[in-house]
Amino acid sequence: MGFEHLIQSGIYKDKDVWRFYSVDEIIKHQSEAGIPDYVIEDFKKFIGKTWVGKGKEYKIIGFEDNNAYCDYYWILEDESHNRIYELWNSIKFYETIKMDEKIMRRIFRFLKALWKYMLYGQRVSFCIYRNRINECCECKNFEESNWTCKICGCYITKKAKMSSESCPDKRW
């Protein structure tokens, strides 16, 4: 898939910053990257939600993943289409809809993994997949109860399939 297409449909990457605007585009490509339905459903709860702050009313239109600051930001827009970026947990939407920080971070990571996969990823061979899974199963950061990585929070069986993903502990 061409990068141009993704920019038009709501993704923008500038140095260390990824910006995501389009839920429709995420849904369209969800199955390619194996993103579970509940992740999309949780994310959709936030898009379009209103926030009143800084003397104005804003709507959430997307989110930004800022690698340089290692954190996530909501992209908000006022009625004149002026955009602001607010640290995702500073405006407390997740409390209103009863979602904890761990789940929110997982949603953002999943969506970023999806976009990376769409931009330059592909499915790895079964052999590579199996080696990655074996490595995880031997690792102290492997959470056996739900097959997630304790460092990144990702589901190992999904993450290990994507060539665009890597181990945060540099084991694969």
Interacting residues with ligand SF4 between 118 and 147 (CB under 6 A): 135-136, 139, 141-142
Kindly write down the DSSP assignment for every residue of 59-123, as one continuous string. Answer: EEEEEEEETTTTEEEEEEE-TT--EEEEETTTS-HHHHTT--HHHHHHHHHHHHHHHHHHHH--B
Note the Cα 131 to chain centre separation in Å: 25
Phi and psi of 145, rounded to 5°? -60, -35
34 lies in the site for ligand SF4, by CB under 6 A:
no
CB 84 within 8 A of CB 124: no
Query: At its nearest, how many Å lie between ligand SF4 and the CB of residue 17?
Result: 24
Cβ proximity to ligand SF4: between 62 and 153 the closer is: 153
Cβ proximity to ligand SF4: between 114 and 156 the closer is: 156
Q: Binding string to ligand SF4 for residues 52 to 91, with x set by CB under 6 A, is what?
A: ----------------------------------------
Query: At its nearest, how many Å lie between ligand SF4 and the CB of residue 168?
Result: 6
Please report which helix (H) or strand (E) contains residue 32, including its range: helix 30-33
* Chain residues that interact with ligand SF4, rule: CB under 6 A: 135-136, 139, 141-142, 149, 151, 156, 167-169, 171
